[in-house]
Amino acid sequence: MAVQREARSALLDEALGPGGPIVVFDKVSLAFDEKTILNEISFTLKTGHTKIFLGASGAGKSTILRLILGLLKPDAGMIFVNGDRIDDMTEDQMMHVRGDLGMVFQEGALFDSLTVRENVGYKLFEESKVPFADANHRVEEVLGFVGLAEFIDRQPSELSGGQRRRVAIARAMAAKPRILLYDEPTTGLDPITAITIDEEIMKLRDLEGVSSIVVTHQLRDAFYVAEHSAVQDGDRIRFDRATPDKADEAEFIMLRDGRIAFEGNATELREVAARDRYIDAFLS
């Protein structure tokens, strides 16, 4: 029952290695009552790559993340995560899949009654057999990674909005998942704080090899994450403009009326915007 990142077989490891299909949606549909949220959505997230979902409020962006986590079940279609078909899994079976997933919820969703240390180390302390000292060390490490080491014993209520999101990122990455899901990670934050969150996303993607799905309607952040990359430079980390190959690893998907209205990289999105009034209106 407890969440643990399971070792994959050598064959699966090779198949899901760099460029392999780590998350696959195949004609996934979902409706709430009479309202269609997703209508035969198909896409593939490759290992180490980033998918950025854009779309109006209620377009089904966050729903996709909840489907990947198994918090919702689709009405039709297949979903594969890490080589496992998850759309027909029970809650108990999903616990194993979730061992390799991290989710940064909108507003952070930190546990109010726990300290930052307990929040970040929750999965390690409560749901794994990692010795306490090792878990604690990992918590300090990830909090250092997001630049909040000195806040370790604070309560979430003592943190600013941006700090809460960074703690949420630290919590999501603490158990070293291969896939990270971000639900509106920068919404409601000032531009400077939003950039620090974007840089955390890039650091995890480019330095830790984490595959990411980012749901947002903050275009500036979306393009920043897609067109830049984190580079380790000695003890420092630089954020440079991505090479064309690297930029191709970040793909945009725009949802409209439950369907995919656009799928492609940042350059293609700008080109399409010149022809498509809806996408142009969305981008401008």
Query: Which x/- pattern, by CB under 8 A, does the window 100-129 give for another protein?
Result: -xxx-xxx-xxxx---------xx--xx--
- Cβ 126 to another protein, closest distance in Å? 7
- Partners of 240 in the beta sheet? 229
Nearer to another protein, 91 or 257 (CB): 91
Instruction: Assess 99 for contact with another protein (CB under 8 A).
Output: yes
Which residues 21-80 are close enough to bind another protein by CB under 8 A? 66, 69, 71
Task: Quote the Cα angle for 169-97-264, to 5°.
Answer: 65
Nearer to another protein, 121 or 162 (CB): 121
Rounded Cα distance, 54 and 50, in Å: 13
204 contact partners, CB below 8 Å, separation of at least 6:
169, 173, 180, 210, 212
Q: Is the dihedral of CA 61, 198, 209, 19 positive or negative?
A: positive
What six digits make up the tokens of 190?
A: 């000032």
Total of chain residues touching another protein, rule CB under 8 A: 25
Which residues 240-269 are close enough to bind another protein by CB under 8 A? none
Nearer to another protein, 128 or 265 (CB): 128
Which residues 144-203 are close enough to bind another protein by CB under 8 A? 171
Question: How is residue 60 annotated by DSSP?
Answer: S
CB atoms within 10 A of CB 2: 11
Interface with another protein by CB under 8 A: which residues? 1-3, 66, 69, 71, 91, 95, 98-99, 101-103, 105-107, 109-112, 122-123, 126-127, 171
